[in-house]
Amino acid sequence: MKVAIVQQICSQQQQENLNHSIQGIREAASQGAKLILLPELHIARYFCQVEDTRYFALAEPIPGPSTAIFSALAVELKVVLVISLFERRTAGIYHNTAVVLDTDGRIAGRYRKMHIPDDPGFYEKFYFTPGDLGFTPINTSIGCLGVLVCWDQWYPEAARLMALAGAELLLYPSAIGWNPEDDAAEKYRQREAWITIQRAHAIANGLPLLSSNRVGIEANPNQHIPGIQFWGTSFIAGPQGELLTIGSTDEPIVLVTEIDLQRTEKIRQIWPYFRDRRIDSYGKLSQRYLD
């Protein structure tokens, strides 16, 4: 099956961002992709650089305007889409939500981001209520998708629970980048860590993995603070962590490659991590820290 990632630049104009997403989806579909992943919050600039109630106006219901647009596109192109939205659940409750649209246009499922960061330039706890849908894969016409979002990608527990629940692929829409003031060595370490941890999830679970990101420098609305230089590097890996395709750090691109879903069973026969797990000894993982 051919799968794809749309790596895009996001501007202050929502319609422009929407057009970039649609153009990327059409390009991927024209190359035969049946599953297409968009970056995190791809319809807007990354507003979480500051805490400002004005940005709650960007939130929308699900179903809503954006799901209607992308649902029609999924039907037209006969593809499965994984989009990322700022969900308004009700007044005062908002989520960072990935939505899966099947080839018939229906909402196959949604995933609300579980791990919410709160770091300089990434003030997501101000905007997003932690997810309450758990780590539940979403069944579609082309396979069972383990969809997680950005900060979730640093947690092996999230990937493992998706795999244990039957996910056939892991997908991570992301918005991650550098502080432009960091030196080259620090930038290298951060980007390599990001790639490595996700390849490790693919390996540990014997699953193919798609990780999308945006590119470009987005200024901080507070002009006295550096913005974020999003590092792109969207990639697709196989079930042994092998890189099948990877994007640049600074250019929008549509990545398309073929994956073999049958390899998971073969890999798990050779590398039987699931067989040898000591589930009788992992109970303390549910504790915050072992004092």
Catalytic residues: 40, 113, 150
Peptide bond before residue 63 is cis, with ω within 30 degrees of 0 = yes
Report d(CA 135, CA 153) in Å as an integer: 12
Is beta strand 169-173 parallel, antiparallel or unpaired with respect to 209-212? parallel
Element (DSSP H or E) covering residue 90: strand 80-90
Neighbour-count burial for 131-170, b at 16+ CB within 10 Å, e otherwise: beeebbbbbbebbebbbbbbbbbebeebbbbbbeeebbbb
Q: What is the sign, positive or negative, of the torsion defined by CA atoms of 36, 152, 61, 169? A: positive
- Contact yes or no for 220/186 (Cβ under 8 A): no
Handedness of CA 249, 254, 259, 264 (dihedral sign): positive
Q: Cα separation of 174 and 98, whole Å? A: 11
Q: Comparing C-alpha atoms, which of 61, 74, 77, 73 is closest to residue 102? A: 74
Tokens 């589930």 correspond to 279
Spatial distance between the Cα atoms of 43 and 214, rounded to a whole number of angstroms: 11
Task: Give CA separation, 120 vs 123, 131, 180, 187, in Å.
Answer: 7, 22, 13, 16
